[in-house]
Amino acid sequence: MEFNINNICCIGAGFVGGPTMAVIADNCPGIQINVVDINTERIKRWNDEDLSKLPIYEKGLESIIKKCRGKNLHFSNKIEENLKVADMIFISVNTPTKIKGLGAGKASDLKWIEASTRQIAKNAKDNVIVVEKSTLPVRTADTVKKILNSQSEKNSRINYKRNFYVLSNPEFLAEGTAIENLQNPDRVLIGGDNEEAINALRKIYKKWIDNKKILQTNLWSSELSKLTANAFLAQRISSINSLTALCESTGADIKEVVMAIGMDTRIGSRFLEPGPGFGGSCFKKDILNLIYICDYYGLKEVSSYWQKVLELNSWQKSRISNLIVDKLFGTLSGKKICILGFAFKANTNDTRESPAIDICNSLLEEGANLSIYDPRVSLKQIAKDLNEDNTIDAKIGLDTGKWTYEESIFSAANEADAIVILTEWNEFKNMDWKKISIIMRRPSWVFDTRLISDLEDNNLFGINIWKIGYGI
Ligand code: NAD
Ligand code: UDX
C-alpha cells in the first residue's frame, strides 16, 4: 500500500502539537496541516493577529506562524471536519497522571487518548495513518488499534470496512528550545509494524532531517523509549543533586566534580546542573507511569529503583526550605523573603511542577512573607499554583505567611531578609549587589539554588551567601 500524504490533522494544539505541526508545515509547504483542539480559547490565541498572544512562547515560533498560518497551517475547533479529510492523524493530547480511580497518583490518565481515538474511528477515511505523538504507557498502541478496529468492524456492517495503521512517534522536545529541538533533533523515533506507513512518516521528516537520524523500532520499544529517556534525564539530575548535599558536608566542590565526571565521554557533561530539583510537565509524570507499569508486571525492585529518583527530588526541595529556616535563626515568622524565579526553568512561562511551588508553600507555612518576581510568569498563574485567589496580599491561612507579586528585582528585594534564586533567568546572573545590599534588611542572605549568581565572596557588601553544593 502506497501512502500519499497531502493532508495532516493533529488533535491537540498544546505545547507539543502546536510547535511540532508548525515545524512540519514550515518544512513541507505541499502538505495542508490542520491543528484541532476542543479548547476554543487556545485556538483563538493560535489565530490571534497579535503574535505575542500565541498560547505558547517559544523562540522562533512566531516567525513560522507568521509565514505558514493561513497557507498550509490552520488552527481550528472543527475536529470532525478536519479528521474526515486527513491522510495522517497525529494524536498530541495531554496524558497527565490519573488523580482518581485505579492507578491514581501513578498511572497515566488515558481518557483524552481514548476520546480522540474514538473521534478518529468515527470520522477518518480509509487507510489513514494514526500517529501517537503523546507520551504513552508501553502497549497503548494495542488499545488504540482495538478502538479503531472495533469501530471499523461496526462500520463494515453498515458502511464499508476501513484500515488504520498505527505508529508511535514520541516527541523529545524540551520547552524553551522547542523549535531548535524540532528543527535539529538528536533523533526521530518511529515505532510501527507496517513498513509503508513508517516510510510515509519518514518521508515527511526527511524533508529536513538526515535519514540516519530517523530510527525505526517496534511499537513497544518506541513507546517505552520515551518514558525511559525522561527517566534517565531525571535520574541524572537526582544523582547530581544528591551530591550537592555531600559536597556541602565535605568541602568537595560540586562544579569541579561535575567537570571531572562530565569529561568522561561515557558519562557526558549535559544534564548535570545542580538545582532545586527538576520540574516541568513530563519528568515526574513519566517516571510515575514507569513505576506503575513496573508494579503492574510485578517488578517491585525496578519500580522502587525509579521511585528513589522522585524521592530524592522531593528531598532536595524540602532540604532547601529547611535550611533557609535554619539560617534565618529557626523562624521565618514576619520575615520577608524575596523569591527570584517561579518558572520550572528559564526561558519559559510554564510553572508545571516547578520546584518554586513546593519551596514557596513550605516557606509560607513557616510564616514568611514572600515577594515573588519572575520575568515571564503572571500573577494569575502564581496565584493558581499557590492555591490562592487573585488578590495581592491575600492571606493563605491564619498562621501562614502571605505573598506579593513584584514587577522587578528591586521591589522584590526591598527590605527583604533573604533572596532565594530558584530559576536560572539571565537577569539574575549579574545583579547590582551593592545597590541590593543597601535596600535589604540585615543580616542579609542570598540562597542561590542554581549556581548562577556572580556574588562570589561571602560577606561582600555584608551579604551572606549560600550556594547549592557549597553551603556556607
Ligand atoms: P497540553 O496540555 O499543552 O495540550 C494538549 C491539548 O490537547 C490541550 O489543548 C487539550 O485541550 C487538547 N485535547 C485533549 N483532548 C482532546 C480531544 N479529545 N480533542 C481535541 N483536543 C483535545 O499538552 P502537551 O504539553 O502538548 O503534551 C501533549 C503530550 O505530549 C503529552 O502526552 C506529553 O506528555 C507529551 N510531551 C510533552 C512535552 C512538553 O514539553 N510539554 C514534551 C514531549 C512530550
Ligand atoms: C523534558 C525533556 O528534556 C524533553 O526531552 C522531554 O520531551 C520533555 O521533558 P522539559 O521538561 O521541557 O523537557 O525541560 P528540561 O530542560 O528537561 O528540564 C526539566 C527540569 O530539570 C527543569 O526543572 C530544569 O531546571 C531541571 N534541570 C535540567 C536541572 O535541574 N539540571 C539540569 O542539568 C537539567
* SS3 per-residue string spanning 20-39: HHHHHHHHCCCCEEEEECCC
3 state DSSP class of 341:
coil
- Cα–Cα–Cα angle for 173, 78, 63, rounded to 5 degrees: 40
What sign results for the dihedral spanned by CA atoms 177, 181, 184, 186? positive
Instruction: Identify the pLDDT of residue 239.
Output: 98
Mean pLDDT of the chain: 94
For ligand 1, say whether the CB of 173 is within 6 Å of any of its atoms. yes
Distance from the CA of 278 to the center of ligand 2, in angstroms?
Answer: 7
For ligand 2, say whether the CB of 144 is within 6 Å of any of its atoms. no
3 state DSSP class of 159:
coil
For ligand 1, say whether the CB of 312 is within 6 Å of any of its atoms. no
Q: Which of 47, 339, 59, 68 is CA-nearest to residue 176? A: 59
Question: What integer is the mean pLDDT of 366-380?
Answer: 95
Establish whether the linkage from the previous residue to 170 is cis, with ω within 30° of 0: no
Q: Which one-letter amino acid corresponds to residue 140?
A: T
For ligand 1, say whether the CB of 9 is within 6 Å of any of its atoms. no
Weakest mean pLDDT among 252-261, 380-389, 453-462: 453-462
For ligand 2, say whether the CB of 237 is within 6 Å of any of its atoms. yes
**Who has greater pLDDT, 1 or 346?**
346
Catalytic residue among 9, 282, 338, 360: 282
Place of cell 507539543: 16
Q: What is the DSSP letter of 69?
A: B
- Is the separation of the CB atoms in 148 and 121 below 8 Å? yes
Instruction: Identify the pLDDT of residue 472.
Output: 81
For ligand 2, say whether the CB of 178 is within 6 Å of any of its atoms. no
Residue 400 has pLDDT above 90, yes or no: no
- Atom index in ligand 2 nearest the CA of residue 424 equals 25
Q: Is 282 considered catalytic here?
A: yes
- Atom index in ligand 2 nearest the CA of residue 282 equals 9
Place of cell 510564616: 367
- Is the separation of the CB atoms in 19 and 173 below 8 Å? yes
Neighbouring CB atoms inside 10 A of 41's CB total 8
User: Residue 286 and residue 290: Cα distance in Å, rounded?
Assistant: 6
Distance from the CA of 335 to the center of ligand 1, in angstroms?
Answer: 40
Q: Closest-lying ligand to the alpha carbon of 317?
A: 2
How many residues can be counted in the chain? 472
410-460 pLDDT per residue, tens: 999 999 999 999 999 999 998 999 999 999 999 999 999 999 998 877 677
**pLDDT band, very low/low/confident/very high, at 390 (cuts 50, 70, 90):** very low
| DSSP per-residue letters across 137-170 | -TTHHHHHHHHHHHHHHHHHHHS----EEEEE--
Q: Whose CA is nearest to atom 21 of ligand 1?
A: 37
Weakest mean pLDDT among 184-193, 272-281, 355-364, 458-467: 458-467
For ligand 1, say whether the CB of 350 is within 6 Å of any of its atoms. no
Q: Which of 418, 445, 409, 269 is CA-nearest to residue 337? A: 418
Instruction: Identify the pLDDT of residue 395.
Output: 47
Question: What integer is the mean pLDDT of 123-149?
Answer: 94
User: What's the pTM?
Assistant: 0.94
**pLDDT band, very low/low/confident/very high, at 158 (cuts 50, 70, 90):** low
Q: What is the DSSP letter of 468?
A: T
- Atom index in ligand 1 nearest the CA of residue 116 equals 18
- The percent of residues above 70 in pLDDT, for the chain, comes to 95
Question: What integer is the mean pLDDT of 227-234?
Answer: 98
Question: What integer is the mean pLDDT of 333-341?
Answer: 96
**Residues contacting residue 187 through CB under 8 Å, at least 6 positions apart:** 172, 213, 214, 215
Distance from the CA of 280 to the center of ligand 2, in angstroms?
Answer: 7
Residue 397 has pLDDT above 50, yes or no: no
Instruction: Identify the pLDDT of residue 156.
Output: 55
Q: Which one-letter amino acid corresponds to residue 206?
A: K
Residue 155 has pLDDT above 80, yes or no: no
| DSSP per-residue letters across 75-121 | EES-HHHHHHH-SEEEE-----B--SSTTTTTSB--HHHHHHHHHHH
Instruction: Identify the pLDDT of residue 402.
Output: 92
Residue 178 has pLDDT above 90, yes or no: yes
User: Residue 239 and residue 82: Cα distance in Å, rounded?
Assistant: 46
CA distances from 346 to 58, 176, 253, 357, 408 (A): 12, 7, 24, 15, 16
Residue 108 has pLDDT above 80, yes or no: yes
60-88 pLDDT per residue, tens: 999 999 999 999 999 999 999 999 999 99
Ligand 2: which of 278, 314, 350 to mutate, judged by most atoms within 8 Å of the beta carbon? 278
- The percent of residues above 90 in pLDDT, for the chain, comes to 89
For ligand 2, say whether the CB of 275 is within 6 Å of any of its atoms. yes
Distance from the CA of 97 to the center of ligand 1, in angstroms?
Answer: 13
Residue 27 has pLDDT above 50, yes or no: yes
**pLDDT band, very low/low/confident/very high, at 301 (cuts 50, 70, 90):** very high
Instruction: Identify the pLDDT of residue 160.
Output: 62
For ligand 1, say whether the CB of 288 is within 6 Å of any of its atoms. no
Distance from the CA of 15 to the center of ligand 1, in angstroms?
Answer: 7
CA distances from 11 to 59, 96, 287, 362 (A): 23, 16, 25, 38
Distance from the CA of 400 to the center of ligand 1, in angstroms?
Answer: 35
- Atom index in ligand 2 nearest the CA of residue 286 equals 9
Weakest mean pLDDT among 142-156, 193-207, 407-421, 440-454: 142-156
